[in-house]
Amino acid sequence: METIEQIRDRLVARFPAARVELVTNPGPAAEHSLLLDAAHAHDLAVFLRDDPALRLDYCSNVTGVDWPDKEITDVTKTTVPDPAGGQPKIVEQKTTRLQPGCLEVVYHLYSMALKHGPVIIRLRTANRSDQVTLPSLTPVWRACDFQEREVYDLYGIVFSRHPDLRRILMWDEFKDHPMRKDYVEPDDYEWEPTAHGAVAEKHKAHLPPPAATPEAKP
């Protein structure tokens, strides 16, 4: 199978208007992926599926990922000359900016016809709050049906042109998107006699207040 860079070049050649970026994977697995832009994702996916050299007819896995907003601190150092004529001072200036987060969907594609893969493609939303729509790839690979519903249920990404987008794992009246990093679960814990780990943290809220200790000693 061709390398991911070659695939990217062919995609860009075939769809000049589309933005296809290579996302390198730093770890030892070296599974690099392609970031596709949402507007052309469907056409790119159809190309990947039907191209005779790739024939990526099998979408194995659809994953949602939450990248929350990150506060980035930029440190700029400027050299200020000393008016008294001595050593120039180096002044550090820290500015914080908010890098907006996004929600991401990762698709792992394999080929059953040619027995190669994986080719990993990603789609990212513009932000985490109001622009959370992405095109559904269910019309291309039916395998994405339930998995995109799950991403909608747990992350809140709305897939346009999905034949049946509704919650799949949680009940329909549920309002939150539980797999997001800022989800706060309801506090239905109680005091535990043998709490440990994460549950120990949660049961602390239900401990009785410590009794007042007697001051004087008999």
Where on the chain is the footprint of another protein (CB under 8 A)? Answer: 25-29, 31, 57-61, 63, 65, 106, 108, 112-113, 115, 118, 120, 141-147, 164, 166-176, 178-179, 183, 185-186, 188-191, 193, 197-199, 202, 206-208, 210-211
CB of 114 to another protein, least distance (A): 10
H or E element in which residue 43 lies: helix 41-50
**Nearest CB to another protein, comparing residues 130 and 172:** 172
Who's near 114: CB < 8 A, 6+ residues apart?
1, 54, 55
**Nearest CB to another protein, comparing residues 91 and 205:** 205
CB of 6 to another protein, least distance (A): 21
**Nearest CB to another protein, comparing residues 114 and 126:** 114
Please give the biggest Cα pair distance in the chain.
91
Identify the bridge partners of residue 99 per DSSP, sorted by sequence position: 70
Q: How far is CA 188 from CA 21, 33, 169, 182, 203, in A?
A: 44, 40, 20, 18, 9
**Nearest CB to another protein, comparing residues 8 and 104:** 104
Contact 23, 123 (CB under 8 A): no
CB of 35 to another protein, least distance (A): 13
